Amino acid sequence: MSGVASLNLPVEFFPMAAGDLDAVAALEAQLQAFPWTRGNFADSLQAGHSVWVVRIGGELVGFSVVMAVLDEAHLLNIGIAPRHQGLGFGARLLRNAMECARLGGANKMFLEVRPSNARAVELYQHFGFRRIGLRKGYYPALGGREDALIFDKDLR
């Protein structure tokens, strides 16, 4: 299914289940040069993180992982299938993650993002996230390590 064709299909959000792990790990492997493993996602489920999938016409096309700590939330991972990017599905998934965190008692959300991921940086800034710091050498990269931009957003 092409991304444009998916615009006419129902978009549904579900809590991630163990049966989604293989599909989510496969999608993550398409998105990242250094992807989370199936075990990383399983650990997030086991830890009770807010872990969601988005389906379009029944097909799993995205996921988000948010860890809550007291009144704060940390967006650990989020992704949309490449053919569905740029069509607003990532924005809907991010909005869902923020709303679930807020309803769960979080007043603030934090995240890290690669400076080279301009599309994600733009999305976060569009949603009112503000850059508050830098983590040097945070991400593995083909040429060694890449820094992470730290963002936060007030959810109240």
17's CB contacts (< 8 A; 6+ apart) are none
Q: How confident is the model at residue 3 (pLDDT cuts 50, 70, 90)?
A: low
Q: How confident is the model at residue 8 (pLDDT cuts 50, 70, 90)?
A: confident
138 is catalytic: no
The active-site residue out of 112, 122, 138, 139 is 112
Q: How many domains does the chain have?
A: 1
12 is catalytic: no
The active-site residue out of 28, 124, 139, 146 is 124
CATH classification of the domain holding 108: 3.40.630.30
pLDDT tens-place string over residues 65-93 = 999 999 999 999 999 999 999 999 999 99
Q: In what order do the strands lie in the sheet with 50-56?
A: 11-15, 50-56, 59-69, 72-80, 108-113, 144-154, 130-141
> Is the pTM higher than 0.85?
yes
Q: What's the domain range around 41? A: 5-154
